[in-house]
């Protein structure tokens, strides 16, 4: 199964008016990173970057001046995501912007069934929260200390690690092992299993003759009420 973990940075919060200025994506196949990635900066045209958005991602209008418009990179994005699930944290936000950009250039929207929201997944798995990306990194022991600003590619890399943990963790790596190798592994494991066996010779009794004599006298005093009489000899 092919999946793309992705993130976007934008000029603001309104998908119908604001624009995507950065997109990053990490390819997973069978829940394992392949090493393929997508990272693009995009010129938003005459749309200004809101100061609140700038404080989050730190991407300036000056930096974006020589970057391509969305229409020029749309096919690269489509090709990279082709045949894959679109996976994002709070996916409704990112997909709102993706589909708005596609609409502007006459492309159809991405079908909802192709989209997976890791925030919804996290809320089901950890209903007491918190479930921000930073909080999930802490929960799963993922180092995010280098995340001082939001960035589409960095956030995609972190989210990919979180997603793998939420969907099975390191066990996902077993998906890369062929059936023959898995069978061999099981056989090796079965060969080294040790089964406890009985002692070849019983341990010598630690009872002294005096112990045995005292016990027999006690049983004789109890007569028929002595439970030891039900189990044979008392010596």
List the catalytic residue out of 39, 50, 89, 150: 150
Task: Please tell me what DSSP assigns to residue 147.
Answer: -
* 150 noted as active-site residue: yes
25/3 Cα distance (integer angstroms): 10
116 burial via Cβ count (<10 Å: 0-12, 13-18, 19+): middle
157/24 Cα distance (integer angstroms): 9
- Token pair 């002595």 is found at 226
Strand ordering across the sheet containing 20-29: 32-41, 20-29, 2-10, 85-88, 115-117
The residues carrying an active-site annotation are 150
């Amino acid at each position: 199964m092919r999946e793309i973990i992705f993130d976007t940075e934008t000029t603001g919060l309104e998908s119908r008016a604001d624009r995507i200025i950065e997109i990053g994506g990490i390819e997973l196949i069978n829940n394992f990173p392949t090493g393929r990635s997508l990272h693009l900066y995009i010129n938003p045209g005459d749309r200004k970057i809101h100061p609140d958005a700038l404080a989050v991602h730190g991407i300036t209008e000056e930096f974006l001046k020589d970057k391509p418009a969305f229409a020029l990179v749309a096919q690269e994005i489509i090709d990279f995501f082709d045949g894959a699930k679109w996976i994002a944290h709070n996916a409704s936000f990112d997909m709102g912007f993706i589909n708005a950009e596609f609409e502007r250039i006459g492309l159809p929207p991405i079908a909802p069934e192709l989209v997976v929201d890791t925030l919804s997944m996290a809320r089901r798995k950890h209903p007491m929260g918190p479930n921000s990306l930073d909080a999930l990194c802490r929960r799963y022991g993922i180092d995010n200390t280098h995340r001082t600003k939001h960035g589409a590619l960095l956030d995609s890399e972190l989210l990919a690690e979180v997603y793998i943990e939420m969907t099975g963790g390191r066990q996902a790596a077993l998906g890369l092992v062929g059936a023959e190798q898995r069978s061999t592994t099981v056989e090796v494991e079965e060969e080294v299993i040790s089964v406890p066996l009985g002692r070849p010779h019983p341990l010598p009794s630690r009872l002294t003759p005096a112990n045995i004599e005292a016990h027999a006298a006690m049983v004789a005093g109890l007569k028929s009420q002595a439970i030891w009489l039900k189990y044979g000899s008392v010596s």
